[in-house]
Amino acid sequence: MNTLDYIIIGSYLTGLLLLGFVLRHQHNRQDYFLAGRKLAWPALTLSVMATQLSAVSFISAPAFVGLREGGGLIWLSYELALPIAVALMLWKLLPTLHRLGVVSVYDFLEQRFSRFTRLLISAVFQLSRSFATAIMIYAVSILLQSTLGIGQYLSLAAIGLITLVYSAMGGMKAVVYGDVIQMLLIIIGATVCLWVGLDAIGGWHAVTLVTSTERLQAVDVAALGLHGNDFGLLPMLFGGMILYASYYGCDQSEAQRALSNSSVGDLRKMMFAIALLRFPIVIIYCLSGLVIGALVVTNSELRQRIPLDNPDWMMPIFITEYLPNGVQGLLVVAIMAAAMSSLSSAINSLAAVTTEDIQRVRKQKLSDCAYLRSARIAGVVWGIVTLTLSLYAGNIAPTIIEAINKIGSVFYGPVLATFLLGVHTTRTTAFAVNAGLLMGVAVNLYFWLSGSELFWFWWNVTGFLTCISVAVSISYFASRNNTMFTATRGLSGLEGMSLVSWTGILIALCLSLPALLTWF
């Protein structure tokens, strides 16, 4: 990297600080955490995708596809569940949460069940989100170490300090507008890597000559996920549906965007756009991984620079070796932007949940000034905690992207079950749902700690079913205590069928990918 690259990086980081300064004026909790519900749904769509299609996806998804043993385009099976998950969320869950006007989605659980339920699931969110974000920041430190030549501590400080400042000052508006820029940079960056990689190896035909048929396979119908990480269609479809529904509908970091829409109609547009647009973007990630992985296989010097036990170094090494100056700076900015998107979203959502929890514990409503002060302090504290945890991230799974989803799979099933029981049933009691939540998490922790061969994608299903079974069983024998709560329906039958049909189209496309890719 040369002076031009550093100018590009410095200009971008300065721009983010200015963004936070310009958007620093907020008057109350709705302004700070929901941007006054005045943000346009296209901006919120890009913000949601920027948070999930983050630096981890940019670095680790191509590594999984291109180099990981047993990897390949099979990762695309993960995307097949999203349209059905969107249908499940839009049926009643997200419209109900939007109608209630809550800042933290966990406020709903207190209204429906009890304060203990709210605090319990809030603790689960804060634990899982801080760890997952820490792993993501660790991924970006790999890039900065290899491209900028700076140490882990300095790279974490560079990302964390600037993100803390602009997100704490600007609130949700700064997070969303920053995400819009970052999402565009991510797409451009991945496309540039794909194009440069193809040019370096000599075209698509050269890629197919050195790529095994197994790595081109995007769907494995035979594998059932009962004997390790085989990424079969069934566990990826059912487990992915629960993971996605829980992540987008019950995880504060993503659901907060849904609550920021001005209406349920805009909320529906945002979720449909996500269901349609995610797959094409992930295809770019995966194809770039396939191309660069083939380039690594044919270049022994390049292969020697990538640790055998850490394929996540593939993209950073490729950027430093093959991209021209100026473009390197843009790519580093793209990945830093992706990291900052995830970190700023995590900080903002963790601060929202923590500040709301403080109000509940103190049993008194804070003034607008005191609330905003507490929110900013909570954001800074969570930023420091997350950055500290990132120093110890690693060795959870062969690639970072698997590690984050593995952690989420412990919690997402029971969390989704808790919300759905609250929305779709009237007899389920607080004690029953609390017991179901704890039992669902306990079962998944047993699978993890016992070394079970059950594929971790199935943990989403086991946790979900355990929570439902325990809660329904206990409620059946409890005295009737029906609630007057009424859910809001936001999805028509035709819309639901269109989302299910989109899933069918994606499955058919994935099944035909090996033939299509070898035909070109």
Could you tell me if 112 and 483 are in contact, meaning their C-beta atoms sit under 8 angstroms apart? Answer: yes
Per-residue pLDDT of 256-296, as tens digits, reads 778 888 888 888 899 999 999 889 988 998 899 999 999 98
Report the mean per-residue pLDDT for the chain.
79
How far is residue 501's CA from residue 509's CA, in Å, rounded to a whole number?
12
Confidence of residue 109 (pLDDT cuts 50, 70, 90): confident
What's the confidence (pLDDT) of residue 139?
Answer: 64
Homologous superfamily of 3-104+130-396 in CATH?
Sodium/glucose cotransporter (1.20.1730.10)
What's the confidence (pLDDT) of residue 413?
Answer: 93
What's the confidence (pLDDT) of residue 16?
Answer: 67
What's the confidence (pLDDT) of residue 352?
Answer: 73
Tokens of 37: 């519900």
What's the confidence (pLDDT) of residue 461?
Answer: 95
Give mean pLDDT, residues 487-500: 80
How far is residue 169's CA from residue 160's CA, in Å, rounded to a whole number?
14
Tokens of 40: 């346009």
Q: Which of 85, 105, 33, 38 is nearest to 375 (CA)?
A: 33
| CA distances to 23, 91, 233 from 267, in Å | 23, 12, 29
Tokens of 159: 């990302």
- Statement: residue 8 has pLDDT above 90: no
| CA distances to 6, 35, 59, 183, 289 from 188, in Å | 19, 28, 14, 9, 15
Measure CA 343 to chain center. 11
Per-residue pLDDT of 112-136, as tens digits, reads 888 888 888 887 777 777 777 777 7
Q: What angle do CA 414, 419, 424 make, to 5 degrees?
A: 120
Q: What angle do CA 112, 34, 89 make, to 5 degrees?
A: 50
What's the confidence (pLDDT) of residue 456?
Answer: 87
Could you tell me if 235 and 457 are in contact, meaning their C-beta atoms sit under 8 angstroms apart? Answer: yes
- Statement: residue 495 has pLDDT above 90: no
What's the confidence (pLDDT) of residue 19?
Answer: 66
- Statement: residue 492 has pLDDT above 60: yes
- Statement: residue 517 has pLDDT above 60: yes
Could you tell me if 457 and 402 are in contact, meaning their C-beta atoms sit under 8 angstroms apart? Answer: no
How far is residue 22's CA from residue 14's CA, in Å, rounded to a whole number?
12
How far is residue 248's CA from residue 274's CA, in Å, rounded to a whole number?
10
What's the confidence (pLDDT) of residue 45?
Answer: 86
What's the confidence (pLDDT) of residue 394?
Answer: 52
Per-residue pLDDT of 439-462, as tens digits, reads 999 999 999 888 888 888 899 999
Residue 115's Cβ-side half-sphere holds a number of Cα atoms within 13 Å equal to 8
**Which ranges of 391-491 would DSSP assign to H, the alpha helix?**
400-424, 430-449, 459-477
Tell me how many helices (H) and strands (E) the chain has: 23, 0
What's the confidence (pLDDT) of residue 441?
Answer: 92
| CA distances to 25, 63, 171, 214, 251 from 22, in Å | 8, 38, 11, 51, 28
Greater confidence (225 vs 423) lies with: 423
How far is residue 444's CA from residue 368's CA, in Å, rounded to a whole number?
40
How far is residue 294's CA from residue 65's CA, in Å, rounded to a whole number?
10
Confidence of residue 140 (pLDDT cuts 50, 70, 90): low
Could you tell me if 207 and 199 are in contact, meaning their C-beta atoms sit under 8 angstroms apart? Answer: no
User: Any idea which of 140-154, 430-444, 506-520 has the lowest mean pLDDT?
Assistant: 140-154
How far is residue 187's CA from residue 98's CA, in Å, rounded to a whole number?
30
- Statement: residue 27 has pLDDT above 60: no
- Statement: residue 491 has pLDDT above 60: yes
What's the confidence (pLDDT) of residue 152?
Answer: 61
Greater confidence (301 vs 182) lies with: 301
| CA distances to 166, 341, 397, 429 from 18, in Å | 8, 16, 38, 49
Domain boundaries, the chain: 3-104+130-396
Give 67's DSSP letter.
T
What's the confidence (pLDDT) of residue 471?
Answer: 94
What's the confidence (pLDDT) of residue 272?
Answer: 92
Q: State pTM to two decimals.
A: 0.81
| CA distances to 84, 124, 418, 445, 466 from 469, in Å | 22, 20, 11, 18, 5
- Statement: residue 198 has pLDDT above 80: yes
Percentage of residues in the chain having pLDDT higher than 70: 77
Give mean pLDDT, residues 299-316: 80
What's the confidence (pLDDT) of residue 42?
Answer: 86
Per-residue pLDDT of 71-96, as tens digits, reads 889 888 888 989 999 998 888 888 88
